[in-house]
């Protein structure tokens, strides 16, 4: 692509980002809750497989990959202005943003490792990252 095309493309991307943040707070919270519910469901399913509570071992790799995808850029699901009484996110998500983003990036990294090489150890690391973030940033 010719570099002369970059400014209009970058401007368009900026408009898309602005539109994404202009979405209704209630819709952001619903969407975020659905993502987190999916995360929780997949974590529970992976745990059952890893602890041999179910015999369906064939799905672990797919579940792990899905967790890697769901946790990619997870902090972006908490844009400024999306605090809500209907959300389980504590105000610290926004007032301690740098720490929140660091923790979210850690969870993203651990989810990526688990997604590529599903193992009990990688799952334990991901689980600890999730729990640590929830402890400080979730009701």
Whether residue 62 is contained in a domain is answered as: yes
Could you write out the DSSP letters of every residue in 51-109?
TTSSS-GGGHHHHHHHHHHHTTTGGGGS-TT---TTS-B-THHHHTHHHHHHHHHHHHH
For residues 87 and 10, give the distance between their C-alpha atoms in angstroms, rounded to a whole number. Answer: 32
Q: What is the pTM of this model?
A: 0.81
Whether residue 13 is contained in a domain is answered as: no
User: How many domains in the chain?
Assistant: 1
How high is the pLDDT of residue 24? 87
What is the average pLDDT score of the chain? 88
How high is the pLDDT of residue 23? 62
CATH number for the domain that contains residue 29: 1.20.120.10
Least confident stretch, 7-11, 47-51, 72-76? 7-11
| Domain span including residue 132 | 24-137
How high is the pLDDT of residue 49? 97
For residues 105 and 99, give the distance between their C-alpha atoms in angstroms, rounded to a whole number. Answer: 10
């Amino acid at each position: 692509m010719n570099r002369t095309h970059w400014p209009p493309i970058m401007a368009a991307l900026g408009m898309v980002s602005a539109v994404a943040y202009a979405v209704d707070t209630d819709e952001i919270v619903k969407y975020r809750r659905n993502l987190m519910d999916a995360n929780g469901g997949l974590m529970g399913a992976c745990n059952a497989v890893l602890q041999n509570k179910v015999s369906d071992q064939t799905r672990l790799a797919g579940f792990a990959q899905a967790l890697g995808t769901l946790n990619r850029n997870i902090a972006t699901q908490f844009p400024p202005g999306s605090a809500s009484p209907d959300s389980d996110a504590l105000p610290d998500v926004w007032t301690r943003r740098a720490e929140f983003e660091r923790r979210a990036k850690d969870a993203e990294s651990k989810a990526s490792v688990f997604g590529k090489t599903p193992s009990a150890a990688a799952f334990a690391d991901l689980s600890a990252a999730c729990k640590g973030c929830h402890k400080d940033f979730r009701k």
